[in-house]
Chain A
Amino acid sequence: MSAPTYPTARTMSSAERPPRSNARGDRWVGWGDRIYGALITACALAIPLLLVLVAAIIARSAWPAVSTVGAELVTGTTWDVPRGQFGALPAILGTLASSLLSLIIATPLALGVAIFVSELAPPAIRRPFAFLVDVLAAIPSVVYGLWALYVLVPFLREVVMPFLGDTLGLGALPLFKGPAYGPSLLAASLVLSIMILPYIAAVARELLQAVPRSQREAALALGATRWEMVRDAVLPYARSGLVGAAILGLGRALGETMAVTMVIGNRHELPSSLFQPAYTMASLLANEFNEASGALHVSALMAVAGILLAITLIVNAIARWLVWRMEART
């Protein structure tokens, strides 16, 4: 008997084709799978739901104030509860000023830390140093506030402010005008910058480490020094992500409450000098919410919370988008 021949695809005519069934990927089968799928989907949907709920509840509670006070809320400069004046502009500007200042102070340092940890530090101290910076991020806000209130503020009042104002003669400039109060916009910005630094540094470090080896090697192969490699290959590659990291830090600073409340001085005035006390939206909420007198006051504070929420959401959305775009590319 000859060896049997085996069928191949071509030996079957189209007339003999069996009925074709279809199977699509990624389905849930059976009750257990369906219950499990429904449960985790519900958990996942809780996240958008919570966000919508936060926005909706704050908007609803803020509505009485918004309809009564109107645009005065964001343009008015007088916050006088007994007289029913709710102008939050000083707090809004104070929030923006302290956050932006802290960003200006923290970003270069954070970038330095990130470059140090991912590029320049001797391998032996890389990990311990990164750990120290992480510890900085783990310190609770209220502890920063405590330290700033009893160490940083007196130091600013006794040493830094007289030095800047009198010794250097900067007191003539409007930015450094006025008597050396301890609690001030400067104090708040400094403590904020210490707080957001590890946060920016952590994101920046990850972005730098994500820059492909090939980019670095290409620069080195062209004869670049180590610094030139960082400047010409690593930083440009990660640029948009680094901008995102800084903006993430800004988002953090905007919503930061305790440490700022303890050192900014809490005064309802438009911020004009670094040496003067100021106010932020978060501090306003922390100080007044529990003692709010009357429905309109509560509603006005809700409106302030709404403004704070809107600003941080927008800032965070932009930052996340920038970081994601960078990560998607690598």
Chain B
Amino acid sequence: MTDVTPRALDARLAARLTPAVAMRAVSPATRDDASDAAISAVAVRTEQLDAMYGGVAAVRSATLTFTPGRVTAIIGPSGCGKSTLLRCINRLHETQPAARVRGAVFVDGRDVYAAGTDVVAVRRSIGFVAQRPTPFPSMNIRENVVAGLRVAGIRVSGTELEDRVEAVLQRTGLWDEVSDRLDSDPMSLSGGQQQRLCLARALAPEPRVLLLDEPTAALDPGSTQRIEELVYLLRGEVTTIIVTHNMQQAARVSDITAFMLEGELIEQAPTRVLFTAPSDARTELYLTGRFG
């Protein structure tokens, strides 16, 4: 019989995260269950995370675990802190003036906020796609795709680089559309193509975590569908966290959904469970459209 109390489950997940946390939380009785099939994607876990703008706390004491290789959606009304939480994971939140973060974020067992951590290395290992397409206007399409590799100083031969560009553009479904104009201005692409280019740019350095901040909010339904399909296909290789204000989208693409309200995590559950039988009354109110 497996112990399925929250605490035990927490401990099992923790065992994959960090020896320190495991030592602290795992009891001998539950240790065996901790070993899952080996997955290249890594787990992400936030612990007691507070994020502030000036004196205002946008995220309060958020503790969440993101299962390796799965897609987790974070939903909630606007202003609930879901984007801020996401931006804490790759330490992007703190780049804003007067922003502050307290707490811990474990990626592959290491606290990215620990003293001496190389912030740039953390960001390089995590892919990020923003709400609006952000291709670099000063670079052509090819340069955009390899920007992450270039900046990391990864040296690959010309043909290998071309292969990588092709592979990642194939995955994002852009290859057929742009293969004949890789040297042209990314601004000539449509909004949906630009966003897929950004996705390709984020995937090119082969991150093991992918953060999507409302990636389809500015797109038409067709482009949205293509991005959602891609997110589905990435399952298993990348731990994906997607923030969305669109509940249908969360239901379509995610395995697990977390619901946030006013900076706090209200509940996290397998998507089907959360949408059909939420355990918290506030989640139900939100899902039925009575606030937010």
Contacts and interface: CB of A to CB of B under 8 A. Distances in A.
Direct touch of chains A and B (CB < 8 A): yes
Top 9 closest pairs, chain A to chain B, by CB: A25-B99, A6-B268, A21-B113, A23-B101, A11-B6, A7-B10, A25-B94, A23-B94, A7-B6
Interface string A1-42: 111111111011000111111111111011000000000000
21 contacts: A3-B270, A4-B4, A5-B269, A6-B6, A7-B7, A7-B65, A9-B63, A12-B10, A17-B47, A18-B47, A18-B104, A20-B48, A22-B113, A23-B91, A23-B94, A24-B99, A25-B99, A26-B94, A26-B99, A29-B119, A29-B120
Contacts of A22: 100-102, 113
Given A3-B270, A18-B104, A23 B113 contact: yes
A30 B102 CA distance: 22
Contacts of B65: 6-7
B9 interface: yes
Given A3-B270, A6-B256, A21 B9 contact: no
Interface in B12-58: 21, 24-25, 47-48
Nearest to B51: A23
A154 to B, nearest CB: 55
Interface size classification for chain B: 35 or more
Interface of B: 2, 4-7, 9-10, 21, 24-25, 47-48, 61-65, 91, 93-104, 111, 113-115, 118-120, 256, 264-270, 273
A151 B32 CA distance: 100
- Taking chain A's interface residues, is the majority helix, strand, or loop, or is none over half, making it mixed? loop
A6 B267 CA distance: 8
B10 A11 contact: yes
Contacts of B115: 21
B104 A21 contact: yes
Contacts of A7: 6-7, 9-10, 63-65, 268
A196 to B, nearest CB: 38
B97 A25 contact: yes
Given A20-B48, A21-B104, A2 B4 contact: yes
A16 B265 contact: no
Contacts of B99: 24-26
Interface of A: 1-9, 11-12, 16-27, 29-30
A112 B95 CA distance: 46
A16 B114 contact: no
Nearest to B7: A11
A23 B92 CA distance: 11
Contacts of B95: 25-26
Contacts of A8: 6, 63, 265-268
A180 B14 CA distance: 97
A9 B104 contact: no
A8 B61 CA distance: 10
Contacts of A9: 48, 61-63, 264-265
B10 A25 contact: no
Nearest to B279: A5
Contacts of A17: 47-48
Nearest to A12: B63
Nearest to B12: A4
Nearest to A17: B48
Given A21-B103, A25-B94, A25-B95, 17 more contacts: A1-B2, A5-B269, A6-B9, A6-B268, A8-B267, A9-B61, A9-B62, A16-B25, A17-B47, A19-B104, A20-B102, A21-B102, A23-B101, A24-B100, A25-B99, A26-B96, A26-B99
A182 to B, nearest CB: 57
A244 to B, nearest CB: 28
Contacts of A12: 10, 48, 63
A5 to B, nearest CB: 5
Contacts of A30: 120
A11 B267 CA distance: 11
Nearest to A24: B100
A86 B95 CA distance: 59
A8 B101 CA distance: 20
B5 A5 contact: yes
Contacts of B64: 7
Contact of A20 (B93, B104, B270): B104
Nearest to A25: B99
Contacts of A6: 6, 9, 65, 256, 267-269
A2 to B, nearest CB: 6
A18 B103 CA distance: 8
Contacts of B6: 5-8, 11
Contacts of A4: 4, 9, 270
A268 to B, nearest CB: 56
A16 to B, nearest CB: 7
